Chains A and B, each alone.
Chain A
Amino acid sequence: MIATNLIILIALGYVVLLFALAYFSERWAKGSAGKFLRSPLIYTLAISVYCTSWTFYGAVGSAARTGYEIFTIYLGPTLVFVGWWFGLRKLVRVGRTQRITSLADLISSRFGKSSSLAVLVTLIAVIGTTPYIALQLKAITSSLNVMTLGDNVDQPGLNVDDVRLALGVAVAMAIFTILFGTRNVDAKEQHHGVVAAIAFEAIIKLIALLAVGIFVVFGLGDGFSEVFARADAAQINAFEYGGFNSRWVAMTVLSAAAIICLPRQFQITVVENSNENHLRTASWAFPLYLFAISIFTLPIAIVGTAMLPPGSDPDMFVLTLPLSFGQEGLALFAFIGGFSSATSMIIIASIALSIMVSNHIVVPIALRLPGRRDDEESGGVTDLLLTSRRISICVILGLGFLYFWLTNGSGALARIGLISFAGVAQTLPAIIAALFWRDATAKGAGAGLSIGFVVWAYSMFVPSFEESSISVAHWVQNGPYGIEFLKPQALFGLTGLDPLVHSVFWSLFANTIALIVVSLSTSQSVLERIQSALFVDAFRRMPGIETRFMRTSAATNDLFFVAQRVLGAERAGSVFDSFAREQGRSRSNLEPTPEFIALLEKELAGSIGAASAHVMISQVVSGDNISLQEVMKIADETQQVIEYSQQLEQKSEELRLTAEKLQDANAKLRELDQQKDEFLSQVSHEVRTPMTSIRSFSEILLEPDELDAHDRQRFLSTIHTESLRLTQLLDEILDLSALERGEKVWTNVPVDVVSALDRAVSVCESLARQKKMQIKRHNVPAEALVLGHADRLAQVFINLITNAIKYNHADHPFVEVRFSTSGKRLLIEFQDNGPGIAAKDRRRVFEKFARGQRGAISGQTGSGLGLAISSQIIARMKGKIDLVKGADDGACFRVSLPLYEGEV
């Protein structure tokens, strides 16, 4: 047992430490340490304000009562952070570019800077958060009771000390928050001092819970497996939980919504964010924090249930376990950890709520009050803002205290937490629609929010007073005025569901349906359309869209007056000066362009929220807004520009493809051109040789007398042979070019390959006999029909056989012709036993004038066009001619033709 005063003193000392930390951080933030204070690490730690005393104490209690259910509270946020690229990133980007100051500001700003939406969201947030603050107060008082009384038995009701203590905590927190949360009205609502203190508290609570966990698992127990072995004795379903039902799903959804919608989470994640890339680190580091803080939850619950006397409050196991086993120091540390988690939540939640209340409720009312404009002095609105924020903080904490008092601190911690979650989750449909649905309207968002909120209040919030009010209990039991149909926990006769699932289902369902239906049946105002484009297309840059909707001749003085009231003289002066510098004028001559007015409105929005800023600026430039139709036109034009630019993108892609094709075609043309050049030079060369010999012989013949008749005869016959060769060459060139150009067209008709071969062999017979060449034939079928041209086919065969004869110098030369079929193709192979074709020539043999090495050696003549022509002919018959690896060393050409299958 530890003396009450000592513990209160320690808690007080801890609060003083927080004050000091916040104070110095605020000062360091401007210096070199500011970089550290704005690091992703601090950001991530601050986000863990999510883990309140509910996590610290309540999670163990929940685990003792219901096993695994508590983990949904951490798995939901884990999923949201893991998917940050598509959700949180956009939220943070919008928050930064639009100078969003709170959750209410986000929704109001997106739906046409609507004041009424802002008020609605603020109300939901305040009502949803109040129970949560009460929860923290309860946690602090119960934990203090446990520490001082060593209490093992849950105390019924509250005693006077509890109430005084809770009040004391609330007051201390109010002072802290006022001191560090409302020091100034920053343009970005960032509070480095507070964030540093929160980050520090995050470390303390994590270490404290881990220390208790390690003590319990490895001190009291004997490692994880031994602890889990006691689960059955403690009647905790650690092995077969069996609770993965609709409640599991509903709680995961709720907690995923809460990590976005809870005002304190929104404040830290979006408003206090100093760099978008911090989210990158938080995306894994925050889930890791949750993982670490949860790992001991179940073991502590098991050991506590098993080792502490029956009737002990499981919500306090984190304290009672060390206390019962004489570890007072550890218990004290754990108390500080729990205290940290409770205070950090209270501080951030009240800052976030006070910004909403002052920006969206107090300032709009003050602006509308008659006579306000008369007492405008320098900084008038700043003072108003700060005062209203300070009062709001007191009111909010007072409400929390009131709830704590009224509910008699009843209900397990976790239940209160879930009520809050479900309340703020009503803003989720509107947030999602704000970021992703272009056509969601303000009326739709308002309808959804109101209906969801009413259903939540009726089916969940009201029944939470069941234990403290008899009429509420009666209502819940029998329905209002005995109408069963409207029983809060079985609406429309939907029974058999867990009350939480029931409420979450009905409220979110009604909310979403109302949002969709009303949005589809109403249309957006001009401002809504502009804002919706800014939000939904946050990652697409659209310069100037918001700046163009006001054409104005507002006096610079009036604008300066307004700015001064909100920002204070110093900052207003610097904004005006920097803009005047860009215009290249002095401040007094500054031209209030639409851009400047938009910029100024944004600056103001950073302090008082979008709706109020819009109202203030409109007061000055009112009447000068350009006509509705004109604005519509601008909005449409912007839309068209976007579409046009998308079309352009498509076009340029097409152009790129076309250019690529052109390049290919050009390359092909160049290649062809080169081939043509080569062909020409080869032709000239080929023609030149016989021409030269003809010319020289004819010159000799022209010389009189010197030749006898025999020589004369010989020369004449040479000239004759050469002219024949020349003619043949020219014929073949003509033939080939005609074939290539597709001029010599013939119709393919069924022809017999065997008879074509017979003709070819008979033509070649005399040449073969000269060279003592054998022509062997194998597997010759009686008839083999292909589609083709008989003469041309014979020409190919003649060419192949002649080649085989001409280039063969073997002792017993032969050429074999083999028939075979492969599938539906007829294969005819011409195999000789000559020297074969050198490897380097194999690829070129079908090219023009490619006679190959052996032709050169043997001194054989030929145009070198034969194979090129043959190849063309066969291709025309849909066949192929290849040089293949034959059975012997010699060359082996294979002609393959598709067999004709039709009727003859």
Chain B
Amino acid sequence: MANRRRSEGFGFFLPIFGAILIMPPIVHLFDRGGTIFGLPTIFAYLFGVWFFLIASSFALARLLPRDEPEPRAGRSERDRDQ
């Protein structure tokens, strides 16, 4: 249960954190010219953040609990009613 809570928290804050990273003012810090591995710093930064989000999301997809076999609409709900 504690793990579920934790990974849900991770899932909640990840997009918020990602949004902050690609929004001004943080993004201005990397928009000052220069290169990293031959790529413009800002290009490397944006794609780096992007890739970080993908990798975290990949990890998250494994951490978050699987849904129980989902209720089929209609019929099964009625069954539970009885």
Residues of chain A touching chain B, judged by Cβ–Cβ distance below 8 Å, are: 68, 71, 74-75, 78-86, 93, 96-99, 223-226, 228, 231, 238-242, 244-245, 248-249, 252, 276-277, 280-281, 283-284, 287-288, 291, 295, 298, 541, 543-544, 547, 578, 595, 598-599, 602-603
Structural contact, B22 and A252, CB atoms closer than 8 A = yes
Q: A78-B50, A82-B53, A603-B74 are contacts. A283–B43 as well, Cβ < 8 Å?
A: no
Most buried by B among A82, A288, A602: A82
Contact mask for chain B residues 37-74; partner A; CB cutoff 8 A; 1 contact, 0 none: 11111110011001101111110110010110011011
Q: Which residue of A lies closest to B49 (CB)?
A: A75
Q: In the assembled complex, which residues on chain B have CB atoms less than 8 Å from the CB atom of A74? A: 50
Q: In the assembled complex, which residues on chain B have CB atoms less than 8 Å from the CB atom of A547? A: 77-78, 81
Say whether chain A's binding surface is mostly helix, strand, loop, or mixed.
Answer: helix
Q: Which residue of B lies closest to A93 (CB)?
A: B70
Q: Which one, B15, B24, B38, B60, contacts A228 given CB within 8 A?
A: B38
> Could you list 14 examples of A-B contacts with CB < 8 Å?
A78-B18, A78-B50, A82-B56, A225-B38, A225-B39, A228-B39, A238-B40, A238-B43, A244-B23, A248-B24, A287-B54, A287-B57, A291-B50, A298-B43
Q: Which residue of A lies closest to B56 (CB)?
A: A82
Q: Which one, A71, A80, A86, A541, contacts B12 given CB within 8 A?
A: A86
Structural contact, B33 and A240, CB atoms closer than 8 A = yes
Say whether chain B's binding surface is mostly helix, strand, loop, or mixed.
Answer: helix
Q: In the assembled complex, which residues on chain B have CB atoms less than 8 Å from the CB atom of A248? A: 23-24, 27
Structural contact, A595 and B81, CB atoms closer than 8 A = yes
Structural contact, B24 and A245, CB atoms closer than 8 A = yes
By size class, the interface of chain B is 35 or more
Q: In the assembled complex, which residues on chain A have CB atoms less than 8 Å from the CB atom of B23? A: 244, 248-249, 252
Structural contact, B28 and A244, CB atoms closer than 8 A = yes
Q: A79-B15, A83-B11, A85-B8 are contacts. A99–B50 as well, Cβ < 8 Å?
A: no
Structural contact, A543 and B80, CB atoms closer than 8 A = yes
Pairs A-B, 6 closest by C-beta atoms: A225-B38, A83-B15, A284-B57, A544-B81, A284-B58, A85-B11
Expressed in whole angstroms, the minimum distance between the Cβ of B58 and any Cβ of chain A is: 4
Q: A96-B73, A239-B42, A295-B47 are contacts. A287–B53 as well, Cβ < 8 Å?
A: yes
Structural contact, B73 and A97, CB atoms closer than 8 A = yes
Contact mask for chain B residues 7-20; partner A; CB cutoff 8 A; 1 contact, 0 none: 01001101110110
Structural contact, B15 and A98, CB atoms closer than 8 A = no
Q: A239-B40, A277-B67, A595-B78 are contacts. A249–B24 as well, Cβ < 8 Å?
A: yes
Structural contact, A75 and B22, CB atoms closer than 8 A = yes
Known: A75-B22, A241-B42. 11 other contacts (CB 8 A): A68-B43, A83-B11, A86-B12, A93-B70, A228-B38, A239-B33, A244-B28, A252-B19, A276-B70, A280-B64, A595-B78
Q: In the assembled complex, which residues on chain A have CB atoms less than 8 Å from the CB atom of B64? A: 85, 280
Expressed in whole angstroms, the minimum distance between the Cβ of B61 and any Cβ of chain A is: 5
Q: In the assembled complex, which residues on chain A have CB atoms less than 8 Å from the CB atom of B32? A: 240
Expressed in whole angstroms, the minimum distance between the Cβ of B21 and any Cβ of chain A is: 10
Structural contact, B31 and A224, CB atoms closer than 8 A = no
Cα separation A78 to B18 with both chains bound (whole Å): 9
Expressed in whole angstroms, the minimum distance between the Cβ of A259 and any Cβ of chain B is: 12
Q: Which one, B34, B54, B74, contacts A284 given CB within 8 A?
A: B54
Residues of chain B touching chain A, judged by Cβ–Cβ distance below 8 Å, are: 8, 11-12, 14-16, 18-19, 22-24, 27-28, 31-35, 37-43, 46-47, 50-51, 53-58, 60-61, 64, 66-67, 70-71, 73-75, 77-78, 80-81
Cα separation A53 to B67 with both chains bound (whole Å): 36
Cα separation A453 to B33 with both chains bound (whole Å): 41
Q: In the assembled complex, which residues on chain B have CB atoms less than 8 Å from the CB atom of A71? A: 46
Structural contact, A543 and B46, CB atoms closer than 8 A = no
Q: Which one, A78, A96, A298, contacts B53 given CB within 8 A?
A: A78
Q: In the assembled complex, which residues on chain B have CB atoms less than 8 Å from the CB atom of A602? A: 73-74
Structural contact, B38 and A223, CB atoms closer than 8 A = yes
Q: In the assembled complex, which residues on chain A have CB atoms less than 8 Å from the CB atom of B54? A: 78, 82, 284, 287-288, 291
Cα separation A78 to B34 with both chains bound (whole Å): 27
Expressed in whole angstroms, the minimum distance between the Cβ of B71 and any Cβ of chain A is: 7
Structural contact, B47 and A277, CB atoms closer than 8 A = no
Q: Which one, A79, A225, A603, contacts B19 given CB within 8 A?
A: A79
Structural contact, A291 and B47, CB atoms closer than 8 A = yes
Q: Which one, B14, B31, B67, contacts A276 given CB within 8 A?
A: B67
Most buried by B among A79, A541, A603: A79
Structural contact, A83 and B42, CB atoms closer than 8 A = no
Cα separation A98 to B70 with both chains bound (whole Å): 13
Structural contact, B71 and A97, CB atoms closer than 8 A = yes
Cα separation A86 to B46 with both chains bound (whole Å): 24
Q: In the assembled complex, which residues on chain A have CB atoms less than 8 Å from the CB atom of B74? A: 99, 598-599, 602-603
Cα separation A629 to B58 with both chains bound (whole Å): 50
Q: In the assembled complex, which residues on chain B have CB atoms less than 8 Å from the CB atom of A75? A: 22, 46, 50
Q: Which residue of A lies closest to B50 (CB)?
A: A291
Q: A68-B42, A291-B47 are contacts. A86–B11 as well, Cβ < 8 Å?
A: yes
Expressed in whole angstroms, the minimum distance between the Cβ of A59 and any Cβ of chain B is: 14
Cα separation A547 to B80 with both chains bound (whole Å): 12
Q: In the assembled complex, which residues on chain A have CB atoms less than 8 Å from the CB atom of B55? A: 284
Q: In the assembled complex, which residues on chain B have CB atoms less than 8 Å from the CB atom of A80? A: 15
Structural contact, B24 and A96, CB atoms closer than 8 A = no
Cα separation A86 to B10 with both chains bound (whole Å): 11
Structural contact, A225 and B11, CB atoms closer than 8 A = no
Cα separation A291 to B54 with both chains bound (whole Å): 9
Expressed in whole angstroms, the minimum distance between the Cβ of A60 and any Cβ of chain B is: 15
Q: Which residue of A lies closest to B10 (CB)?
A: A85
Expressed in whole angstroms, the minimum distance between the Cβ of A302 and any Cβ of chain B is: 10
Structural contact, A599 and B31, CB atoms closer than 8 A = no
Q: Which residue of B lies closest to A89 (CB)?
A: B67
Cα separation A295 to B54 with both chains bound (whole Å): 14
Most buried by A among B43, B46, B55, B64: B43
Structural contact, B78 and A599, CB atoms closer than 8 A = yes
Cα separation A238 to B34 with both chains bound (whole Å): 10
Q: In the assembled complex, which residues on chain B have CB atoms less than 8 Å from the CB atom of A603? A: 74
Cα separation A488 to B35 with both chains bound (whole Å): 42
Expressed in whole angstroms, the minimum distance between the Cβ of A860 and any Cβ of chain B is: 57
Q: In the assembled complex, which residues on chain A have CB atoms less than 8 Å from the CB atom of B18? A: 78-79, 82
Structural contact, A544 and B14, CB atoms closer than 8 A = no
Cα separation A595 to B81 with both chains bound (whole Å): 9
Expressed in whole angstroms, the minimum distance between the Cβ of B72 and any Cβ of chain A is: 9
Structural contact, A544 and B57, CB atoms closer than 8 A = no
Structural contact, B80 and A241, CB atoms closer than 8 A = no
Q: In the assembled complex, which residues on chain A have CB atoms less than 8 Å from the CB atom of B75? A: 578, 599
Cα separation A248 to B16 with both chains bound (whole Å): 16
Expressed in whole angstroms, the minimum distance between the Cβ of A580 and any Cβ of chain B is: 13
Q: In the assembled complex, which residues on chain A have CB atoms less than 8 Å from the CB atom of B56? A: 82
